[in-house]
Chains A and B, each alone.
Chain A
Amino acid sequence: MAGIRDKVAIIGMGCSKFGERWDASPDDLMLEAYTEALADAAIAKEDIQMAWLGVFFDEQNVGKSAIPLSQALRLPNIPVTRVENLCATGTEALRGAVYAVAAGACDIAMALGVEKLKDTGYGGLPERTKGTFEDLWQPNSTAPGSFAQLASAYSAKHGVDMQDLKRAMAHVSWKSHQNGAKNPKAHLQSVVDMDKILNAPMVSFPLGLFDCCGVSDGAACAIVTTPEKAREMGFDNPVVVKALQLAASNGVEMSHNSWDGSYTMTTRMAAQRAYAEAGIKDPLKELSMTEVHDCFSITELVVMEDLGLSKEGQGYKDILNGKYDADGEVPCQIDGGLKCFGHPIGASGLRMAYEVYTQINGRAGSRQLKDPVMGLTHNLGGIPNRNVCSVSILGRLNQ
Chain B
Amino acid sequence: MTSVGITAYGAYLPKRRLNRAAIAAANAWMNPALKGMGKGAKAMCNWDEDTVTMAVEAGRDCLTGIDRATVDSVTLASTTLPFADRHNAGIVLAALTLDENSESIDVTATQRAGTTALIKALKAGGNALVLAADHRIAKPGSAQEMQLGDGAAALLLGTEKVIARFLGSHSLARDLVDHYRSANAEYDYNLEERWIRDMGYDLIVPEAAKQALEKAGVAAADIDHFIMPAIQNGLDARQAKRIGVKAEAVRSNRNREIGEAGVAHPLLMLVHALEEAQPGQKIMVIGFGQGADVLIFETTDALKQLPKRSGVTGQLARGAEDNNYQRFLSFNGQIDYEWGIRAERDNRTAQSTAYRKRDSITSFLGGKCTQCGTVQFPKSNVCVNPNCQAIGTQVDHPFADLEAAVKTFTEDNLAYSPNPPLQYGNIGFNEGGNIYMDLTDFDSGTISVGSKVRMVFRIKDFDDKRGFRRYFWKAAPAA
Contact = CB atoms under 8 A, between A and B. Distances in A.
B350 interface: yes
A78 interface: no
B386 to A, nearest CB: 6
B361 interface: yes
Interface centre among B349, B410, B424, B461, by most chain A C-beta atoms within 10 angstroms, is B410
Interface string B438-469: 10000000001110000000001100000000
Interface in B334-374: 341-342, 344-347, 349-350, 353-354, 357, 360-361, 374
Nearest to A157: B449
Contacts of A156: 448-450
Contact of B426 (A122, A201, A261): A261
A358 interface: no
Interface stretch (A202-210, A220-228, A305-313): A202-210
Interface residues of B, number: 54
Given A140-B416, A149-B426, A153-B449, A127 B342 contact: yes
A139 B424 contact: yes
Contact of B350 (A132, A140, A256): A132
Contacts of B345: 127, 140
A138 interface: yes
A119 to B, nearest CB: 13
Given A127-B345, A152-B409, A136 B428 contact: no
Given A121-B341, A132-B350, A145-B422, A255 B410 contact: no
A140 B434 contact: no
Contacts of A124: 414
Contacts of B470: 136
Contact of A152 (B341, B360, B408): B408
B182 interface: no
A215 to B, nearest CB: 12
Contacts of A129: 346
Which of A133, A140, A153: most chain B CB closer than 10 A? A140
A261 B461 contact: no
Contacts of A127: 341-342, 344-345
Given A145-B422, A156-B450, A257-B429, A137 B437 contact: yes
A139 B450 CA distance: 19
A14 interface: no
B408 A136 contact: no
B216 interface: no
B283 to A, nearest CB: 42
B291 interface: no
Contacts, number: 146
B407 interface: yes
Contacts of B353: 132-133, 136
Given A136-B354, A136-B470, A258 B415 contact: no
B434 A202 contact: no
A250 B381 CA distance: 13
Contacts of A146: 410
Interface in B377-421: 377-378, 380, 384-386, 407-417, 421
A103 interface: no
A254 interface: yes
A256 B385 contact: yes
B472 A137 contact: yes
A251 interface: yes
Overall SS of chain B's interface: mixed
Interface in A203-252: 203-205, 207, 250-252
Contacts of A256: 374, 376, 384-386, 432-434
A150 to B, nearest CB: 7
B434 A205 contact: no
A213 to B, nearest CB: 13
A233 B172 CA distance: 100
Contacts of A252: 384, 386
Contact of B408 (A121, A153, A258): A153
Given A150-B408, A251-B384, A136 B341 contact: no
A257 to B, nearest CB: 5
A353 interface: no
B384 A139 contact: no
A152 B410 contact: yes
Contacts of B435: 137, 255
B432 A149 contact: no
Given A122-B341, A132-B350, A138-B437, A148 B376 contact: no
B380 A251 contact: yes
B414 A136 contact: no
B413 A202 contact: yes
B436 interface: yes
A144 B414 CA distance: 8
B436 A254 contact: yes
Nearest to B376: A255
B449 A152 contact: yes
Given A136-B357, A139-B438, A145-B410, A155 B449 contact: yes
B40 interface: no
B412 A144 contact: yes
A62 B421 CA distance: 33
Nearest to B470: A136
24 contacts: A122-B341, A133-B353, A136-B353, A136-B361, A137-B361, A137-B435, A137-B473, A139-B437, A140-B416, A144-B414, A145-B424, A148-B412, A149-B426, A152-B449, A202-B413, A204-B410, A205-B421, A255-B377, A256-B385, A256-B386, A257-B433, A261-B426, A262-B408, A385-B426
Interface of A: 121-122, 124, 127, 129, 132-133, 135-142, 144-146, 148-150, 152-153, 155-156, 201-205, 207, 250-262, 385
Q: Which 4 A-B pairs have the closest CB atoms?
A: A145-B412, A139-B424, A132-B350, A156-B449
Given A139-B424, A140-B461, A153-B449, 11 more contacts: A121-B341, A122-B342, A129-B346, A133-B350, A139-B422, A149-B408, A149-B426, A153-B407, A155-B449, A156-B449, A385-B426
